[in-house]
């Protein structure tokens, strides 16, 4: 496994005082420009390739996939075709091995999860990410999947976002990345990254907009009833306050003591 600076001790002081009130302004907004679509062919179906690894978070891949998947084709990649278990239990069966990859994907999606630290240091995963990134039109990550792109050197010199748990880890270990805090989705060239977990749904809608145009993406957003009204409005650190931040960190440490990589700046 690759060695990175970091520990489970994500100190509250490394979060609260460093958040700007306008941090989310770095999030890319929908363009509404159908000219961005890959193809004007209404029958065009983009292929999304999703990287599996032990300990992925199911919603990190299911959220984006449900948005773009009905308009395209989905491939699940892993070293072999044995079921791969997520971080909270569910298993998915890969459709395609790394060795079988033939450059046939439009979008590479890398989910996050409690297994991200082990995946970061896996040479086979690193090699596949780099190989797929060379041929995919879009490279994307959800949640802490940003760390996997970063470890492969795919985010150097780019803006990106991730789950707030690992802001410090990104800044300490990958200083060439321009981290955009509290953004839901950040687009830099052909690289799309999203914030934690649920932001992956918005990532999927943005990917669909890029592939099929704004009208298709907007229609899909409507069909999905994607109009969130969070019960407590505490879904980002700047809205939650220090007490909830401490509680969330303890929760993460409890459920993933050796699998979630937390690091203070």
Q: What contacts 62, CB < 8 A, 6 or more positions away? A: none
Q: What contacts 119, CB < 8 A, 6 or more positions away? A: 53, 54, 55, 125, 148
Cα–Cα distance for residue pair 64/109, rounded to 1 Å: 8
Q: Tokens at residue 114, please?
A: 């409690």
Closest CA to 64 of 120, 108, 29, 114: 108
Tell me the backbone φ, ψ of residue 102, rounded to 5 degrees: -120, 20
Three-point CA angle 148, 64, 176, nearest 5°: 30
Q: Tokens at residue 215, please?
A: 């009208």
Over the Cα atoms of the chain, what is R_g? 17
* CA-to-CA dists, residue 265 to 146, 167, 226, angstroms: 17, 8, 34
CA 95 from centroid of its chain's CA atoms: 20
- Does the active-site annotation cover 143? yes
Which residue among 27, 138, 143, 170 is the active-site one?
A: 143
Q: Tokens at residue 192, please?
A: 């799309």
Q: Tokens at residue 194, please?
A: 């999203």
Cα–Cα distance for residue pair 117/128, rounded to 1 Å: 16
To which residue do tokens 């749904």 refer?
201
Active site residues: 143
């Amino acid at each position: 496994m690759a060695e990175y600076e970091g520990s489970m001790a994500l100190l509250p002081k490394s979060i609260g005082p460093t958040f700007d009130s306008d941090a989310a302004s770095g999030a890319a907004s929908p363009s509404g420009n159908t000219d961005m679509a890959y193809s004007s062919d209404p029958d065009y179906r983009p292929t999304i390739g999703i990287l599996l690894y032990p300990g992925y978070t199911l919603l990190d891949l299911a959220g984006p996939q449900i948005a773009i998947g009905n308009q395209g084709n989905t491939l699940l990649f892993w070293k072999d075709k044995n079921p791969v278990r997520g971080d909270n239990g569910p298993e998915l069966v890969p459709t395609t091995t790394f060795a079988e990859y033939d450059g046939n994907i439009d979008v590479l999606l890398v989910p996050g999860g409690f297994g991200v630290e082990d995946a970061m240091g896996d040479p086979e995963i690193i090699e596949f990410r780099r190989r797929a990134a060379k041929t995919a039109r879009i490279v994307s990550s959800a949640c802490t999947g940003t760390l996997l792109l970063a470890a492969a050197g795919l985010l150097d010199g780019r803006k990106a976002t991730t789950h707030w748990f690992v802001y410090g880890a990104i800044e300490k270990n990958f200083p060439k990345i321009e981290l955009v805090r509290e953004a839901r989705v950040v687009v830099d060239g052909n690289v799309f990254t999203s914030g934690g977990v649920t932001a992956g749904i918005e990532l999927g809608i943005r990917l669909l907009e890029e592939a099929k145009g704004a009208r298709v993406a907007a229609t899909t957003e409507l069909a999905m009833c994607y109009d969130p009204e969070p019960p407590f409005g505490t879904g980002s650190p700047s809205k939650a306050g220090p007490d909830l931040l401490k509680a969330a960190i303890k929760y993460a440490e409890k459920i993933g003591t050796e699998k979630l990589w937390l690091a203070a700046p």
